[in-house]
Amino acid sequence: MSKQEIKKVVLAYSGGLDTSVILKWLSDTYGCEVVTFTADIGQGEEVEPARTKALSLGIKPENIFIKDLKLEFIRDFVFPMFRANTIYEGEYLLGTSIARPLIAKYLIDIAKETNADAISHGATGKGNDQVRFEIAAYALNPDIKIIAPWREWDLNSREKLLAYAAKHGIKIDKKPNASPYSMDANLLHISYEGLVLEDPAQRPEDSMWRWTKSLLDAPDTPEDVTIEFEKGDGVAINGEKLSPDKFWEKLNALGSKHGIGRLDLVENRYVGMKSRGCYETPGGTIYLKAHRAIESITLDREEAHLKDELMPRYASLIYNGYWFSPERKALQALIDYTQQKVSGTVKLSLYKGNVIVEGRKSPNSLFDAAYSTFEEDSVYNQKDAAGFIKLNALRFIIANKKR
């Protein structure tokens, strides 16, 4: 499809410098009508200003879409991901990765609703997000045209973007206390990249962190918390039943208060380079500790081990943008099957960056003190272990005798 054939495009729009420049650039370069889509996934700031900004840039009111997706984000993306205890490369809780397929889904839906020919995004040609957005979009609509301005234009620095904005009368609002870092935020996490972080040997500035208290400022007294699970998903905190989005908001507040969830990571990007980023994932850090605790008494041993073996592959699928792939869906079906009896309550203590498990119980618990006690029991014959050991050692015995 040539530029002349694109009559309407749906842009993932935040109202910031990059996407405001893209909005104007699309109109000038493609001569097309622009539809804006702004997703509220809990980034912690008002999204309505994006409507005012889009209107000021000439977008028709009927072409401005703003959607509150916080509930759907946690319920349909974060919870399913964490049923697998998903972590990428041993540390990263995939806060940015898991949000991209949800945004792509709505870009495709809105393109269909508005009869748009294409979608567009502000991800750079160096990053993972271009891959995540576009693979998800093609999975949902193989005929969609995707415009990635960072792979087409020569506005490859903040200075050039600002110059373009000034030339075309695009007002860039400076937010109070705005961070100079490249940031991404949603209900699951906030990330920081750029500036001093581009040297992996440099310590992040203390002023960079926005969500979590430093360990010095965190309370000097531990706080006890209980989390209740039903079929692998969190449903209540301290006995209070909550919707998935409100559950996560409360968990984030608890983690932030106690300095939980900071991470300094050098990760392997899908496009081939290494990237250093810092993350705050307070609720996710607490949640994973609690989820593994309830699984420890409700899952069969081999069931739990199989999940742990599959988790790195599942994490890579999400990191690399394959949320809508058949293999991710197949793994999800297996993971969800294991969660049918993962219900119960976990007791935690939160203290200066630490999440300490202090007890767990479940109506589906497989823990049986009659078998595991260190005192005298009447159900386990300890002599049975000899035959088990001998059979498992038999191959070594035979091999050594042959030698």
254-295 confidence digits (pLDDT tens): 999 999 999 999 999 878 899 999 999 999 999 999 999 999
Whether 137 is covered by a domain: the verdict is yes
Q: Is the pLDDT of residue 13 over 80?
A: yes
* Chain CA centroid to CA 362, Å: 28
Whether 92 is covered by a domain: the verdict is yes
CB 319 within 8 A of CB 327: no
Confidence of residue 29 (pLDDT cuts 50, 70, 90): very high
pLDDT at 177: 58
Burial of 355 (0-12, 13-18, 19+ CB in 10 A): buried
For tokens 């906030």, what's the residue? 190
pLDDT, tens only, 125-138: 888 999 999 999 99
Which of 167, 200, 229 is at the close of a domain?
A: 167
CB 67 within 8 A of CB 162: no
Task: Indicate the SS3 state at residue 26.
Answer: helix
Q: How far apart (Å, rounded) are the C-alpha atoms in residues 224 and 351?
A: 9
Q: Does 152 lie in the same domain as 9?
A: yes
Q: Is the pLDDT of residue 176 over 80?
A: no
Which two tokens mark 114?
């508005």
Q: How far apart (Å, rounded) are the C-alpha atoms in residues 266 and 268?
A: 7
Q: Which residues are catalytic?
A: 18, 100, 129, 182
Q: Does 315 lie in the same domain as 224?
A: yes
Q: Does 260 lie in the same domain as 319?
A: yes
CB 318 within 8 A of CB 325: no
Q: How far apart (Å, rounded) are the C-alpha atoms in residues 346 and 344?
A: 7
Kindly report the CATH number assigned to the domain that includes residue 146: 3.40.50.620
Residue 375 DSSP label: S
Rounded-to-5 percentages of helix, strand, coil across the chain: 45, 20, 35
Q: In the predicted model, what is the mean pLDDT of the chain? A: 94
Task: Indicate the SS3 state at residue 105.
Answer: helix
> By residue range, what is the domain housing residue 391?
375-402
Whether 397 is covered by a domain: the verdict is yes
DSSP string, 82-93: HTTT--BTTTB-
Q: How far apart (Å, rounded) are the C-alpha atoms in residues 299 and 336?
A: 12
Whether 175 is covered by a domain: the verdict is no
Q: How far apart (Å, rounded) are the C-alpha atoms in residues 306 and 337?
A: 12
Which of 117, 134, 167 is at the close of a domain?
A: 167
Q: Does 388 lie in the same domain as 330?
A: no
Q: What is the mean pLDDT of residues 95-107?
A: 98
Q: Does 332 lie in the same domain as 196?
A: yes
Q: Does 163 lie in the same domain as 70?
A: yes
pLDDT at 219: 98
Which two tokens mark 39?
């997703």
CB 47 within 8 A of CB 24: no
Which sign does the torsion angle of CA 145, 273, 320, 24 carry?
negative
pLDDT, tens only, 114-162: 999 999 999 998 889 999 999 999 999 999 999 999 999 999 888 899 9
Q: Does 379 lie in the same domain as 356?
A: no
Which of the two residues, 44 and 193, has the higher pLDDT score? 193
Provide the number of structural domains found in the chain.
3
Strand arrangement of the beta sheet that strand 64-68 belongs to = 64-68, 33-40, 8-12, 118-120, 145-147
Whether 132 is covered by a domain: the verdict is yes
Distances from the Cα of 52 to the Cαs of 64, 126, 162, in angstroms?
A: 10, 31, 20
Q: What is the mean pLDDT of residues 305-330?
A: 98
Overall pTM > 0.85 = yes
